[in-house]
Structure 1
Amino acid sequence: MTTATPPHRIPYRANLWALRSLGVRQVLAPSAVGSLKAEHGPGAIVVPDQLVDRTSGRVQTYYDAGGAVHVSFADPYCPTGRAVAVSAARSGGWDIVDGGTLVVIEGPRFSTRAESQWFARNGWTIVGMTGFPEAVLARELALCYTSLSLVTDHDAGVEAGEGVTHEEVLRFFATNVTKMRSLVADAVEALPQERTCACGSALDGIKLPFDLP
C-alpha cells in the first residue's frame, strides 16, 4: 500500500508559492517519465525544452480573480537551468537527451496504446503525469523552472508487451534514486547565483492583482 499523493491531487500552487516565499528563485524538477521513442530507453535523462498539456481540471494559474494576467510561455523552461542540467548529467555519465517535448497527462492511469501512438506521431518525446501546471505556475511567479526527466520505461505504444505497470515504474525509479539525487545536487551547485535569463522578468510591465512574496 502506498501513501504517495496521486499526480492529479498534488497541491502545485501551494508548493510553488511556498518555494518563492522561502526565497527560492530557481527550481529543478526531477520526475519519472515514459519514453515515446524507441531510441530513448530506461535510464536516459531527458531535459525537455517544450511541453504539451493534456491534463484536465488542474488549476493552472494564480491569477484567476482580480483581472487577467497573461505571461509568455512560448519557451516553458529556463535556458540557463537547462544548460546546467545537461552539463551535470553529461558529467555524471548519464545517457542524456538535450531537448524534446514532455506531454503531461492527467493520470493516475497510464496511456492507452492508441494515445501513446498518437503522442509519438506528433513528435513528442516523453510522457509523464507531473511537470504541469508546475512549469506555468513557476513562470507566473517569475521563477526559473527546469525539468529533469528520468525515463523508466517505454510507453505502451512504443513496443510490444503488456504495457506500463505501476510496479515497473517504481522498481526502476527506486534503483536509480540515489544517482538521481546526486545529479540534482550537482546541478543545484552549478546554478548561477545571479540570474541573467528572462525568467525573472516574466512579470515586468504586468499589473498584478496582489503582491508576490
Structure 2
Amino acid sequence: MADPVLGIVGGSGVYDLPGLEAPEWRVIESPWGEPSDAILHARFEGLALRFLPRHGRGHRLSPSGINYRANIDALKRAGVTDLYSVSAVGSLREDMAPGDFVFVDQYLDRTFARETSFFGNGCVAHVGFGHPVSPHLATVAQRAAERCGIPHHMGGTLVTMEGPQFSTRAESEGYRAMGAHLIGMTALPEAKLAREAELPYATIAMVTDYDCWHPDHDHVDVATVIATLKANTANAHALIAEIARSFPRGIVPDAARVALEGAIMTAPGKRDPALVARLDAVAGRVLA
C-alpha cells in the first residue's frame, strides 16, 4: 500500500509544530492561480506532512480573498492523500465553550462571493456531498484528543459565512434556530473542493468565543479571538502531533477517494480541452 501524506491547512500556530523533521517551504504552482503561500514539506515520526497557511504567513488574506481552488490543487500536487482543516470558530451552543475543539460532521454554506467548484462549462460534474467529512479522519482526531486530554465534541454543524464582518444578532439567532452549532468563515468552499479533488477531509474547529447570540458575549472582537487562539496553540500542537503519531501507515479506504466516479456529465468529445488540462491534478484519474 502507498504511504499516506497528511495535509494540514490552518494558521501560524499550526505549522510551528515542534519536532518537525527536515522542514522545507516549497512553492507549488497551480493552473488555478496563486495559492495562499508556499507549502511546508516535513516529516513527523516517519509520516510525511504538508502544511499550508490558509491566510498566508502573516495573515495577509481575508476569508473571501483566499484562492481555495489553487490551495486544494496545490496540496494535491504536493502529494497529499488526507486533509485536515484547523479553523477558529465561534460557538452557537452553550456547551461548546471557548477552548473546546469540535470535530464537525456537517456544514451550512452562507458564502456568496467565492468560486465553489473546479468544474463548469466545458466539463460539468456533480459530486455528492451529503456526508462531507471523512469519518475515518474525524475518528482519528477524536481519539487523539482523548489521549491528549483536550476538551472536545464529536459532531456538529458548522455555518460558513462570507465575512469579513462578524454576524448580526439576528443572523446568529437564526443559525441557532436552524440547528447549527458553530460559525466560521473558511470551511467552504474548501471542503467542497477537497471532495472534488477526491481528498478525504475533516475540520478541527477550535472555539475561540461565543457568537453574539450569547447574552454575556454579545460583542465579538478580534482581541478576544486572538487571545483564545494563542491559548489554544499548545493544544493544537499536541493534537496534530498525536494525530500524526497515530495516523495509519497505509492508505485507508474512504468514499471521498472515488468521489468522481460517475460524476462527470460532459461527453468526452464535448469537453473543453483547456479546462480538462487545468483539471490534471484534481481529476486526471477519471479524465485520462
TM over 0.5: yes
1:202 alignment partner AA: A
Which among 98, 116, 138 is matched to residue 154 of structure 2?
98
Deviation at residue 173 of structure 1 after TM alignment: 0.1
Which among 174, 189, 209 is matched to residue 118 of structure 1?
174
CA RMSD, 1 decimal = 1.5
Moved more, 151-160 or 107-116: 151-160
Partner residue, 2:284: none
Which among 70, 76, 81 is matched to residue 126 of structure 2?
70
1:17 alignment partner AA: D
- Over 3 Å counting, the alpha-carbon distance change for 1:161 and 1:178 in structure 2 is closer
Q: Give the percent of matched residue pairs that are identical in Structure 1 and Structure 2.
A: 37
1:197 alignment partner AA: D
In the alignment, structure 1 residue 198 sits paired with structure 2 residue 237: no
The 5 Å alignment of 1:33-112 reads: 33-112=89-168
Gaps of 5+ in 1: none
Partner residue, 1:212: 280
Which among 136, 146, 161 is matched to residue 202 of structure 2?
146
TM-score by length of 1: 0.94
TM-score by length of 2: 0.70
Conserved? CA contact 2:110–2:159, under 8 Å: yes
Choose between structure 1 and 2 for higher RCO, CA contacts under 8 A separated by at least 6 residues. Answer: 1
Moved more, 105-114 or 58-67: 58-67
1:100 alignment partner AA: G
Deviations 1:95-153 (A, max 9, x none): 11100100000011100111111111111100001111010000000001010000011
Gaps of 5+ in 2: 1-57, 282-288
- Over 3 Å counting, the alpha-carbon distance change for 1:68 and 1:204 in structure 2 is same
1:163 alignment partner AA: H
Between the aligned partners of 1:83 and 1:162, the Cα distance in structure 2 is 33
Structure 1 runs of 4+ aligned residues shifted over 4 Å read none
* Structure (1 or 2) with the larger CA radius of gyration: 2
Aligned length: 212
